[in-house]
Structure 1
Amino acid sequence: MTSDLRFCPFCPASAGGDPSEVDPADIVRRWPAATAFHPRRRIIPGHVIVAPHAHVESGHRDPVVTGYAAACAAELADQLGYREYNLIQSSGRSATQTVPHIHWHLVPRSPDDGLPLPWTPSQQREQAERTEAAA
């Protein structure tokens, strides 16, 4: 996945400039080289994105930047009191990456939140049922 830095929605927000995609009111925390913010479409209350300031398109391109952002996300989880959560990073379109800038989704979880991951057995059963019903 290649991108043009001029069109990256996370770079202006992470750098603290005039963000085109992130409302400054949604910024949760800043570190020297990363910013955490609420996404426009939260999948569950408390869902936060942590993006490094450096423009890195996917996780393998710069493991140090990727690791730094993950450490910031883990630190934020502790600060917010999240004890059960998913920390999700997708690299590439096939892995559901939609923004060509490395970022971590910090998603707080609870037993009754109703948010299955796509690869969990319950989600696979639901997908199989939908496919069967459509056939």
Structure 2
Amino acid sequence: MDELDLHYPSTCPFCTIASAYPPPSPSSSSSSPPKLWSQWNSHSEDLTSSIPSDAASHPEKTSPSSFVVLASADVLAFLDILPMTGGHLLVCTRAHRGKVEDLGAAEARSVGFWLPVLARVVKRVAGTTDYNIVQNNGARAAQVVPHVHFHIIPRPETMPEIKNKSWTMFGRGQRDELDDEMGAKMAAEMRRVLREEVGRIEMKGRKGPKL
């Protein structure tokens, strides 16, 4: 093992979240929403079912708490518990993949589908037009959790003071911890807005060709 890998957590926290928030069950109902990306995704899930209910996304299913916004077959999204700014969202693969180069075709397409949708959600909830999407690969590239993930970081007009450039994801350190009550409220609002975004996509899918 490379000496730079020694700081990695012994148990992948993102895999723990993935286990606690399972993917939606396949629906056989003919009245279910159109499966807009079944041609991409072997799971043939409909999009709405990938957004957990408030009850299903209870944050205390893991320790530390997880504030989940999306739990699809291939992709998860949840609030960073040490956010750089309010609304800092992490988007990761459900399966454990170390780096982007390890993604399979279906996973890559799923990530590519959800990233712009979630970016719109972050913008709306954070009330800003600007944001970063950051993705690190390997310890030398500042990847702390060795499970491929993307940061969507809203950039408000008035930026909080950042003491240093650490990208620490878990544990105490360089950024303030997310308050549980605030995290639960923000995640619930993001799920609500995500349902609206997905509703618009599904409506377009009914009217025209599949994505």
TM-score (norm 2): 0.46
Question: Structure 2: 5+ residue runs without aligned partners?
Answer: 23-60, 166-211
Q: Percent identity?
A: 24
Question: Structure 1: 5+ residue runs without aligned partners?
Answer: 119-135
Return the match for 1:91 from 134, 137, 150. 137
Contact 1:47 1:107 in 2 (8 A): yes
Greater share of strand: 1
Match of 1:10 in 2: 14
TM-score (norm 1): 0.68
Matches within 5 A, 1:57-72: 57-62=98-103, 64=105, 65-66=107-108, 68-72=110-114
Instruction: Work out the number of aligned pairs and report it.
Output: 115
Residue 63 of structure 1 deviates from its aligned partner by 5.8
Residue 44 of structure 1 deviates from its aligned partner by 0.8
Contact 1:13 1:20 in 2 (8 A): no
C-alpha distance 53-47 of structure 1, shift in aligned 2 (>3 A): same
Contact 2:85 2:160 in 1 (8 A): no
Match of 1:31 in 2: 72
Q: CA RMSD in A?
A: 3.1
- Structure 2 distance, partners of 1:63, 1:32, is 13
- Structure 2 distance, partners of 1:67, 1:28, is 19
Residue 40 of structure 1 deviates from its aligned partner by 1.8
The one-character-per-residue Cα deviations of 1:52-100 (angstroms, maximum 9, x if unpaired) are 1011001112263345324323211113325311111100111100001
Contact 2:89 2:153 in 1 (8 A): yes
Partner amino acid, structure 2, of 1:78: R
Residue 20 of structure 1 deviates from its aligned partner by 4.4
C-alpha distance 101-115 of structure 1, shift in aligned 2 (>3 A): farther
Larger radius of gyration: 2
C-alpha distance 97-88 of structure 1, shift in aligned 2 (>3 A): same
Return the match for 2:117 from 58, 71, 75. 75
